[in-house]
């Protein structure tokens, strides 16, 4: 049960940020930009018409709140992001916000008072493409980004700091100096995000909805540099060579073997060597002395990620010894895996049966804001919606019928309510907590 008319019109509004120029094509809505702010205002305008109270926290996240029957019960919060990658698609992010908002709109219009308070949330700056940092709004909301970082993070295309962008849209980043918690952690029963799957599995299996078991964390080595020594390809004997390509290929082949072995042992793991090249150093008759490559490993298990990190270090050492080269290995960038609440998953499975909706359980290969809340201790879950399997690309597409099926499941979850596993009741209402944490009514 959700307001289809409002959902459609919100998607139409959001299309205003679709670029169709010879140099740029697709959705372009940078994190903490005017466009992201404008997109949020499409929702705020609808909320005003419906008399749904709206709040903005000090990180710029927006909260639309529908009070429940029992204010001492913690709230169900559901939301996603509205920023996109450069030349992105229509639905990665906005689908989850439109879903949660149009459920609240339907309840409000029909006078349905849910058992507990419901909140639709717009989370700022999820995409890492702009500032090199994912989930900025979510992390700021739980006090997990330092104030210094707001100066340091610079937008890739403009080199302007995040702090400047925040000030430009009327935020006061100085207020975040002591990393306050903005999100009502103790007044939230669960966080749940509807999102397009961003992969081909649901389409392939012809199942409309996925219930997420966990969000894979990752380790990324953006550039490992192998330093060898140049020489003539015809004259230098093999035992005297320092061949950067052969040394690197040896590492990659060993990793391929070891990681495939882990997969065969049943571990959740995907791995990619997304970049590999000799750059300008390559020449047909020169022994390669400079080879650069990247490694990315993702898993739902931190143990598996740790194991992979050791395997990478060991094989680099072995290759250095065999090939007499040096590898320059940067500190890997890490993001934690997140486990989805078994209780949320169970309820979603039960509700999907109630409404006759086929679903499967599956991990999320991509990172999401939900991981931030899950790792902050909030019972969390995700609903994946079938689409054409393409994402982070203008060709990303989702039939409205499939969106509707996913939203029906979310609506059922919100309507039935969710009690936290420990049965805790809140000391204060969700709204009161928001205000106490420095949010402003809009």
Nearer to Zn ion, 35 or 92 (CB): 92
The alpha-carbon radius of gyration of the chain (Å, integer) is: 24
Nearer to Zn ion, 92 or 243 (CB): 92
Q: Least distance to Zn ion from the beta carbon of 87, Å?
A: 15
Q: Least distance to Zn ion from the beta carbon of 90, Å?
A: 12
Q: Least distance to Zn ion from the beta carbon of 9, Å?
A: 22
Nearer to Zn ion, 215 or 251 (CB): 215
Site for Zn ion in 84-113 (CB under 5 A): 92-93
Site string for Zn ion, 38-77 (x = CB under 5 A): ----------------------------------------
The answer to whether the CB of 56 falls within 8 A of the CB of 442 is yes
The answer to whether the CB of 408 falls within 8 A of the CB of 357 is yes
Nearer to Zn ion, 199 or 420 (CB): 199
Nearer to Zn ion, 26 or 228 (CB): 26
HEC assignment per residue over the chain? CCCHHHHHHHHHHHHHHEEECCCCEEECCCCCCHHHHHHHHHHHHHHHHHCCCEEECCCCCEEEEECCCCCCCCEEEEEEECCCCCCECCCCCHHHHHHHHHHHHHHHHHCCCCCCCEEEEEECCCCHHHHCCCCHHHHHHCCCCCHHHHHHCECCCCCCEHHHHHHHCCCCHHHHCCCCCCCCHHHEEEEEEEEECCCCHHHHHCCCEEEEEEECEEEEEEEEEEECECCECCCCCHHHCECHHHHHHHHHHHHHHHHHHHHHCCCCCEEECCCEECHHHCCCCECCCEEEEEEEEEECCHHHHHHHHHHHHHHHHHHHHHHCCEEECCCCEEECCEECCHHHHHHHHHHHHHCCCCEEEEEECCCCHHHHHHHCCCCEEEEEECCCCCCCCCCCCCCHHHHHHHHHHHHHHHHHCCCCCCCCCCCCCHHHHHHHCCCEEC
Q: Give the separation between CA 218 and CA 270, rounded to whole angstroms.
A: 9
- Kindly give the pairing relationship between strand 188-196 and strand 75-81: parallel
Nearer to Zn ion, 105 or 385 (CB): 385
Q: Least distance to Zn ion from the beta carbon of 81, Å?
A: 6
Q: Is 208 in the site for Zn ion (CB under 5 A)?
A: no
Site for Zn ion in 375-434 (CB under 5 A): none
Q: Is 193 in the site for Zn ion (CB under 5 A)?
A: no
Q: Least distance to Zn ion from the beta carbon of 267, Å?
A: 25
The answer to whether the CB of 430 falls within 8 A of the CB of 188 is yes
Q: Least distance to Zn ion from the beta carbon of 7, Å?
A: 18
Q: Least distance to Zn ion from the beta carbon of 126, Å?
A: 6
Q: Least distance to Zn ion from the beta carbon of 93, Å?
A: 4
Site string for Zn ion, 173-192 (x = CB under 5 A): --------------------
Nearer to Zn ion, 67 or 92 (CB): 92
Q: Least distance to Zn ion from the beta carbon of 230, Å?
A: 44
Nearer to Zn ion, 83 or 187 (CB): 83
Nearer to Zn ion, 93 or 137 (CB): 93
Site for Zn ion in 209-268 (CB under 5 A): none
Q: Give the separation between CA 390 and CA 363, rounded to whole angstroms.
A: 17
Q: Least distance to Zn ion from the beta carbon of 193, Å?
A: 9
Q: Least distance to Zn ion from the beta carbon of 82, Å?
A: 10
Nearer to Zn ion, 46 or 92 (CB): 92
Nearer to Zn ion, 296 or 309 (CB): 296
Q: Give buried/exposed letters for 146-184 (b at 16+ CB in 10 A, else e).
A: eeebbeebbbeeeeebbbebbeebebebeebeeebbbbb
With contacts defined by CB under 5 A, how many residues of the chain interact with Zn ion?
2
Binding site for Zn ion (CB under 5 A): 92-93
């Amino acid at each position: 049960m959700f307001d289809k008319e409002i959902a459609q019109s919100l998607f139409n509004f959001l299309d205003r940020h679709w670029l169709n120029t010879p140099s740029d094509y697709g959705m372009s809505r940078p994190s903490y930009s005017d466009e992201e702010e404008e997109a949020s205002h499409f929702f705020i305008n609808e909320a005003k018409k419906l008399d749904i109270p709206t709040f903005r926290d000090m990180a710029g996240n927006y909260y639309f709140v529908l009070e429940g029957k029992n204010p001492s019960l913690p709230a169900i919060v559901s939301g996603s992001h509205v920023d996109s990658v450069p030349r992105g698609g229509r639905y990665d992010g906005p689908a989850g916000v439109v879903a949660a908002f149009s459920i609240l709109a339907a309840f409000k219009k029909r006078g349905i008072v849910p058992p507990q308070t419901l909140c639709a949330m717009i989370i700022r700056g999820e995409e890492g493409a702009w500032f090199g940092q994912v989930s900025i709004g979510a992390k700021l909301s739980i006090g997990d980004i330092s104030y210094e970082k707001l100066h340091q993070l610079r937008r890739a295309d403009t080199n302007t700091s995040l702090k400047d962008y925040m000030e430009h849209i009327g935020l006061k980043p100085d207020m975040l100096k002591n990393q306050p918690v903005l999100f009502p952690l103790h007044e939230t029963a669960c966080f749940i995000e509807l999102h397009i799957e961003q992969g081909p599995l649901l389409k392939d299996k012809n199942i409309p909805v996925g219930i997420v078991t966990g969000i894979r964390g990752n380790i990324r080595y953006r550039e490992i540099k192998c330093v060898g020594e140049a020489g003539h390809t015809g004259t230098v004997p093999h035992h005297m060579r320092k061949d950067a390509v052969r040394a690197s290929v040896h590492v990659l082949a060993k990793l391929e073997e070891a990681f495939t072995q882990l997969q065969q042992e049943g571990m959740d793991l995907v791995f990619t060597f997304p970049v590999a090249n000799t750059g300008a150093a390559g020449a047909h008759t020169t022994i390669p002395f400079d080879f650069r490559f990247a490694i990315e490993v993702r898993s739902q298990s931190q143990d598996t990620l740790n194991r992979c990190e050791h395997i990478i270090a060991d094989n680099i050492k072995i290759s250095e010894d065999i090939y007499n080269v040096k590898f320059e290995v940067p500190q890997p960038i890490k993001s934690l895996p997140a486990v989805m609440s078994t209780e949320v998953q169970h309820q979603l499975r039960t509700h999907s049966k109630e409404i006759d909706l086929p679903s499967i359980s599956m991990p999320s290969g991509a990172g999401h804001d939900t991981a931030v809340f899950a790792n902050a201790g909030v019972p969390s879950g995700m609903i994946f919606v079938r689409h054409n399997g393409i994402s982070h690309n203008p060709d990303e597409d989702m039939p409205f019928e499939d969106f509707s099926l996913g939203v029906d499941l979310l609506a059922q979850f919100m309507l039935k309510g969710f009690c936290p596993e420990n049965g805790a009741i809140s000391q204060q209402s969700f709204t009161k907590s928001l205000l106490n944490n420095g949010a402003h009514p809009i």
